[in-house]
């Protein structure tokens, strides 16, 4: 089914025509902006925007969201034509539920007018900035968490040109806010980074040091203001939100009776854990089901290791076995059993979960969610940016197990599956894309070690941005990865899993 050309588009003029169950809880324009969100992608629209709309509907407050797209104009254009309305379809084998969300008070394009975004960040009405910009946009070394600025970031921090990067926008905005004494603000990372609040805080501090080095100590004055007025709450976010497809738009049109070019689909499950440190106030997100806590760390580790790590494992092994989606990958014989052992024997033993939470039970819920046949989450999409994702999703599990003297049998299978995936072809010879910031270096390492699995492991362990030196020097970890990679090279995924089960 396709989207009907010329059909009425979702907007204020058609709200009364929508089914009552699908109408927004908050009418766009009725709630002034109090939040800026950087990253106007599908995840934000299906997660933070939904929580915020429900919180405002339940408890009030001037908490409209101005969504900022850092690069592409596509979503800004679509939302502007729809009065910033969009729909979210919760989809499962039991059927679909579509609702229209009115949380957005505006949509802006950072690259088109960065000066206006800086001014927005310095506006006293804005008291919260949230981010979903992916790991790459933070410009952080995954091993050390230190800022690793490229030429564009350095130019943003040391010249007066309009900023072009996320670190540049944030720091310029904070500098302007400090000068204007515009009041306290919280910067809230909602990306899958370990200790995401601490990392964002570190990024800003290090970026201000670069500014200070080029501006005669200006950052020192701002640093004093920051300590008194800016917080960096940590978070854990969870909802499976695949990239929108023509079918997503068609399903929304069928449910609403009008076209929605910004429609997103998601699984019914959602979770948001937030450290409650907001000096300028916040929406009543707990009224929408969010968990407010003093420490999001245990929740973050639970999700990164028992969900994201298992997601990556399923993606690499599924793609190698020729499965297009995560749900299809779970149908590979023995894969679900191997993933259960990964969760129970490696992940659960690697950290202390939140009070009252069973890692094994959480893992069972994860596998049930992954098996949702309607969520067509592509294995290739999940496999992207492996060098950025692998450390926090899998390598931290391995490191913590080794520190406890344990043998990380199943977690090393995930590392080997990533290495096998990086070779660029599935078990049947089909080409696989290597979409990764370190793609050239990964290919060069594989070329250097191509004569054997042991050579490939040796070469890839030399990528210090990915593999910490202590882990790379661990003979037991190395032997386990070599053994798995040898099996995957010789026998393919299905026979390897059958032999391991």
SS (HEC) of 148-170: CCCHHHHHHHHCCCCCCCHHHHH
Q: Is 431 helix (H, G, I), strand (E, B) or coil?
A: strand
> Tokens in use for 484?
């798995």
The pLDDT value recorded for residue 226 is 85
| pLDDT at position 142 | 64
pLDDT of residue 215: 56
For residue 354 the two structure tokens come to: 């939140």
Half-sphere exposure of 172 (CA within 13 A, CB side): 25
The whole-angstrom distance between residue 244's C-alpha and the CA centroid of its chain comes to 16
pLDDT at 221: 72
Residue of 189, 149, 154, 163 whose CA lies nearest to 37:
189
**Residue 229 belongs to what H/E stretch?**
helix 218-229
Digit-by-digit pLDDT tens for the chain (501 residues) are: 344 444 689 999 999 899 999 999 998 889 999 999 999 999 999 999 999 999 999 999 999 999 999 989 999 999 999 999 999 999 988 889 999 999 999 999 999 999 999 999 999 999 999 999 988 899 887 667 788 888 999 999 999 999 999 999 999 999 999 989 999 999 999 998 889 999 999 999 999 888 876 555 555 677 788 889 999 999 999 999 988 999 999 999 999 999 999 999 999 999 999 999 999 999 999 999 999 999 999 999 999 999 999 999 999 999 999 999 999 999 999 999 999 999 999 999 999 999 999 999 999 999 999 999 888 889 999 999 999 999 989 999 999 999 999 999 999 999 999 999 999 999 999 999 999 999 999 999 999 877 799 999 999 999 998 999 999 999 999 999 999 999 999 999 999 999 997
Model-level pTM? 0.86
Contacts of 451 (CB under 8 A, 6+ apart): none
Q: Which of 313, 448, 321, 444 is nearest to 382 (CA)?
A: 313
In this structure, are strands 64-69 and 86-92 parallel, antiparallel, or unpaired? unpaired
């Amino acid at each position: 089914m396709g989207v009907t050309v010329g059909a009425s588009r979702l907007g204020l003029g058609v709200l009364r025509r929508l089914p009552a169950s699908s109408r927004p809880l908050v009418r766009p324009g009725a709630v002034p902006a109090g939040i800026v969100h950087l990253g106007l992608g599908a995840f934000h629209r299906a997660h933070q925007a939904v929580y915020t709309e429900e919180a405002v509907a339940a408890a009030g407050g001037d908490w409209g969201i101005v969504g900022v797209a850092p690069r592409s104009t596509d979503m800004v254009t679509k939302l502007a034509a729809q009065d910033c309305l969009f729909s979210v379809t919760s989809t499962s084998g039991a059927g679909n539920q579509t609702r229209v969300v009115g949380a957005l008070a505006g949509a802006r394009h950072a690259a088109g007018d960065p000066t206006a975004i800086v001014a927005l960040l310095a506006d006293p009405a804005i008291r919260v900035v949230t981010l979903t910009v992916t790991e790459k946009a933070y410009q952080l070394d995954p091993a050390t968490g230190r800022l690793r600025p490229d030429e564009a970031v350095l130019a943003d921090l040391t010249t007066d040109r309009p900023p072009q990067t996320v670190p540049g926008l944030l720091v310029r905005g904070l500098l302007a806010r400090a000068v204007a004494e515009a009041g306290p603000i919280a910067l809230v990372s909602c990306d899958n980074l370990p200790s995401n609040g601490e990392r964002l805080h570190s990024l800003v501090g290090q970026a201000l040091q670069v500014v200070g080095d080029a501006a005669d100590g200006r950052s020192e004055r701002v640093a004093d203001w920051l300590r008194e007025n800016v917080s960096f709450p940590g978070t854990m976010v969870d909802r499976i939100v695949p990239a929108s497809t023509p079918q997503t738009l068609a399903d929304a049109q069928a449910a609403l009776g009008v076209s929605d070019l910004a429609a997103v689909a998601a699984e019914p499950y959602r979770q948001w854990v937030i450290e409650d440190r907001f000096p300028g106030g916040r929406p009543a997100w707990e009224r929408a089901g969010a968990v407010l806590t003093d420490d999001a760390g245990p929740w973050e580790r639970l999700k990164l290791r028992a969900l994201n790590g298992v997601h990556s494992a399923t993606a690499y092994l599924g793609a190698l076995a020729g499965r297009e989606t995560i749900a299809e990958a779970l149908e590979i014989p023995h894969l679900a059993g191997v993933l259960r052992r990964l969760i129970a024997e490696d992940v659960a033993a690697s950290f202390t979960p939140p009070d009252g939470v069973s890692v094994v039970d959480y893992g069972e819920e994860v596998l049930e969610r992954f098996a949702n046949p309607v969520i067509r989450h592509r294995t290739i999409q999940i496999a992207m940016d492996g060098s950025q994702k692998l450390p926090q999703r899998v390598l931290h599990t391995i490191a913590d197990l080794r520190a406890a003297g344990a043998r990380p049998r199943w977690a090393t299978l995930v590392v080997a599956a990533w290495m096998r995936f990086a070779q660029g072809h599935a078990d049947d010879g089909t080409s696989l894309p290597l979409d990764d910031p370190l793609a050239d270096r990964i290919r060069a390492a594989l070329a250097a070690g191509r004569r054997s699995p042991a050579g490939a492991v040796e070469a890839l362990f030399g990528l210090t941005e990915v593999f910490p030196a202590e882990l790379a020097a661990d003979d037991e970890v190395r032997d386990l990865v070599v053994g798995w990679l040898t099996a995957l090279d010789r026998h393919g995924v299905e026979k390897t899993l059958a032999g391991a089960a």
